[in-house]
């Protein structure tokens, strides 16, 4: 077992004639994506999971005289791409997700990549200006102070700001107003109501663009939440499962990856078993019911969860429940509610709703 940081590369030598599948698991890099590229020869890769042309799509800092060495798996040798007179000697190099390459660099440079925020936005994390910083600081300060006029002031900031500033200010408002622990414990929603009003102010300025923001903030919160939960878990299989929930936003792909790692087991049985174990695991000192942060989760939930993993409709779930009453007694009337509840949970929403 070895670890590779985003932006690094390595060569795996297979001494046999057998085809080898290697699964890499980790967390998608977020925030300031700057990778220094030294002069001379080094091996590098993109920090974001996105394929494309190295220079024009992925923003690699190409310079006059640079040479890229990209391995051709079919021909089992390197293809050389030279950048000279502000153009490539042939077609530009195209790299796939997770694919490394050798670079012969004539001068050092910094590889700055946009920070991609699922599901809709890409931002330059290094863009800044004095007025933007002041507006973010103002919003943060008055929210922390619980200033009685905070919503009015932030709303006016949003109505007078460009879209990047609106994003930055509302990101701070979302962090403070939404998913607050006490409100969630007691079922209160005032924070969400206040944020929805601020989003309406942004919609008045930026129109439909404002509708892209809430899904981005929710996904950022979901990713952070899973990362924090994963840090508290020691079991390798459980950590693998949470890494899938974090990075694989689709049911069939997740099941395929589970099958590739555990070819001798049924992938649905494994996932259901992991969820059962995690729903029964509590973190010492935590007020949450289990390490997943999900409240009630009994055999009825597991029955519907398995059915959702298998891609069953609610009608098919009812037929199965009628045929197997011992597995989930008295389930028929609550199948729709349970299915909608599981689909709406942030932990599972991308898996079942993509």
Q: In the prediction, which pLDDT does 187 show?
A: 45
Which one, of 124, 131, 228, 217, lies nearest residue 172 by Cα? 217
Q: In the prediction, which pLDDT does 205 show?
A: 93
Q: In the prediction, which pLDDT does 326 show?
A: 76
pLDDT at 132 over 50: yes
Q: What percent of the chain has pLDDT over 70?
A: 93
Pairing of strands 87-88, 77-84: antiparallel
Structure tokens at 119: 């599901």
Q: In the prediction, which pLDDT does 136 show?
A: 93
User: Which residue carries 């174990």 as its tokens?
Assistant: 277
Q: In the prediction, which pLDDT does 293 show?
A: 86
| DSSP letter string, 82-134 | EEETTEESSSPPEE-TT--EEEEESS-EEEE--EEETTTEEE-TT---HHHHH
Q: Quick one: which H or E segment has residue 199?
A: helix 190-206
Distance CA 280, CA 73 (A): 45
Q: In the prediction, which pLDDT does 186 show?
A: 41
Residue partners of 20: CB distance under 8 A and separation at least 6: 12, 14
More confident site: 321 or 69? 69
Q: Does the bond joining 149 to the residue before it have cis omega, within 30 degrees of 0? A: no
pLDDT at 200 over 90: yes
What's the whole-number mean pLDDT along residues 32-40? 87
């Amino acid at each position: 077992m070895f670890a590779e940081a985003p932006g690094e590369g390595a060569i795996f030598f297979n001494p046999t004639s057998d085809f080898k599948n290697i699964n890499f698991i980790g967390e998608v890099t977020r925030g300031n994506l700057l990778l220094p590229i030294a002069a001379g020869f080094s091996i590098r890769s993109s920090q974001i999971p996105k394929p494309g042309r190295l220079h024009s799509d992925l923003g690699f800092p190409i310079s006059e005289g640079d040479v890229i060495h990209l391995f051709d798996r079919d021909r089992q040798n390197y293809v050389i791409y030279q950048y000279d007179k502000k153009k490539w000697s042939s077609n530009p190099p195209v790299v796939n997700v997770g694919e490394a390459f050798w670079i012969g660099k004539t001068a050092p440079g910094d590889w700055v990549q946009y920070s991609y925020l699922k599901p809709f936005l890409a931002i330059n994390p290094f863009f800044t200006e004095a007025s933007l910083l002041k507006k973010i600081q103002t919003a943060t300060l008055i929210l922390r102070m619980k200033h009685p006029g905070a919503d009015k002031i932030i709303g006016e900031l949003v109505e007078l700001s460009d879209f990047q500033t609106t994003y930055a200010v509302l990101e701070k408002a979302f962090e403070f107003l939404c998913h607050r622990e006490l409100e969630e414990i007691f079922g209160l929603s005032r924070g969400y109501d206040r944020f929805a009003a601020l989003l309406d102010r942004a919609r008045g300025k930026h129109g439909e663009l404002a509708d892209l923001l809430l899904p981005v903030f929710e996904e950022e919160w979901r990713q952070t939440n899973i990362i924090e939960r994963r840090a508290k878990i020691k079991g390798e299989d459980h950590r693998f499962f949470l890494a899938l929930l974090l990075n694989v936003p689709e049911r069939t792909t997740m099941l395929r990856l589970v099958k590739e790692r555990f070819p001798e087991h049924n992938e649905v049985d494994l996932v259901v078993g992991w969820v059962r174990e995690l729903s029964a695991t509590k973190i010492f000192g935590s007020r949450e019911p289990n390490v997943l942060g999900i409240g009630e989760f009994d055999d009825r939930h597991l029955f519907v969860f398995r059915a959702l993993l298998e891609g069953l409709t609610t009608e098919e779930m009812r037929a199965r429940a009628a045929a197997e009453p011992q597995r989930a007694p008295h389930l028929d009337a609550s199948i729709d509610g349970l299915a909608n509840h599981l689909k709406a949970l942030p932990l599972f929403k991308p898996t079942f709703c993509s």
